[in-house]
Amino acid sequence: MLQQTIQTIAPLNEEAMARARARQDQLTKPAGSLGRLEDLSVQLAGITGVLNPPLARRAVLVAAGDHGVTAEGVSAFPSEVTPQMVLNFLNGGAAINVLARQAGARVVVIDAGVAADLPEHEDLIPAKVAPGTANFAQGPAMTRDQAVQSIEAGIAALEREYRRGLDIVATGDMGIGNTTPSSAICAVLTGADIDQVTGRGTGINDEARRHKVEVIRRGLELNRPDPNDPIDVLAKVGGFEIGAIAGIILGAAARRIPVLVDGFISTAGALIAAGLSPLSKGYMIAAHRSVEPGHQIMQEHLGLSPIFQLDLRLGEGTGGALAMPVVASAVAILNEMATFADAGVSEKIE
């Protein structure tokens, strides 16, 4: 499934992008005056192949998994919080549920590796690779086969939602301790220093952050992930939900669906996806920039510019849900705004 999906991903539609740029130049405004909205409309045309893609069918796919590295004391919360929050998502009570309702999006949870049994629910996709990863400070987080399985879980989830009807998707995450593997992935795939890319996660203090840096350093020295092999990086120091997020992105790109990449953990998944398919970067839209220090480094490495910066650090797909109306507005501007000819304006506005 993974190789077939990667082979299906095509470059953006250059003809549609050229038509979008040409129309932008004819709209009744100074050229470039709507900034990123103009860029987004061109990218959306390239992704979908049309200037006015439907964006009504929206979903936030929240991938969930637990992490053995929490045994090292890298998080302010215990792993038991992961399944508790998944149940909160399914009951509609979390921040992502509130923001998704505002955006007109459904919330679907992928159990990629939660260390607990979860009840059946129409909005829960059971895809548990294992009940949490192993502690990567003591050995690989997972096997290579498990890494591939986690990515394919994300692809399968995207396909499921595509069959339900899907025009735009946002990635989300839930997994206590998952900023630790995300920092490790960031350090390996961007080449940045571990201390530079490691933040406070759920709100740990200075001493705990220094300990977290040393745990990551120990794990990287022990496992030696290959930066030229994203599956090896995921297997050595990653997380099942991070693999699933990579799969969501690859699946969306294969289906020519725009994907709003949320925060730090989602962007770790984007790094894995981009390593497997550089073409997938064209289908990514960075929703926001979080306060995690590695997030900017990841985004710059991927060539992504965030839509906004609100000092978010929750995850769940919250930034992605917030960005959905902005993306829809970009498409509306391109298609609903009058051209100079339509408005009877004889000269372009300079």
CA 62 from chain centre, in angstroms, equals 9
Catalytic hit among 241, 316, 336, 347: 316
What value does the CA radius of gyration of the chain take, rounded to a whole number of Å?
A: 20
Sign of CA dihedral 318, 280, 82, 89: positive
Angstrom distance (rounded) from CA 165 to CA 106? 11
Tell me which H or E stretch contains 62: strand 58-65
Close Cβ partners of 134 (under 8 Å, ≥ 6 residues apart)? 68, 140, 141, 142
Where does residue 30 rank: exposed (0-12), middle (13-18), buried (19+ CB within 10 A)?
Answer: exposed
Exposure class string for 225-249: b at 16+ Cβ within 10 A, else e: beeeebbbbbbbbbbbbbbbbbbbb
Asked if 90 contacts 135 with a C-beta cutoff of 8 angstroms, the reply is no
Task: Tell the burial category of 117 from Cβ atoms under 10 Å away from its Cβ (0-12, 13-18, 19+).
Answer: exposed
- Alpha carbons 112 and 269: distance in angstroms, whole number: 13
Catalytic residue list contains 292: no
What is the rounded CA–CA span in Å between residue 268 and residue 261?
A: 10
**Rounded Cα distance, 158 and 251, in Å:** 6
Which residue's entry shows tokens 């399914």? 90
For residue 182 the two structure tokens come to 């995300």
Helix (H) or strand (E) holding 65: strand 58-65
DSSP state of 172: E
Enumerate the active-site residues: 316
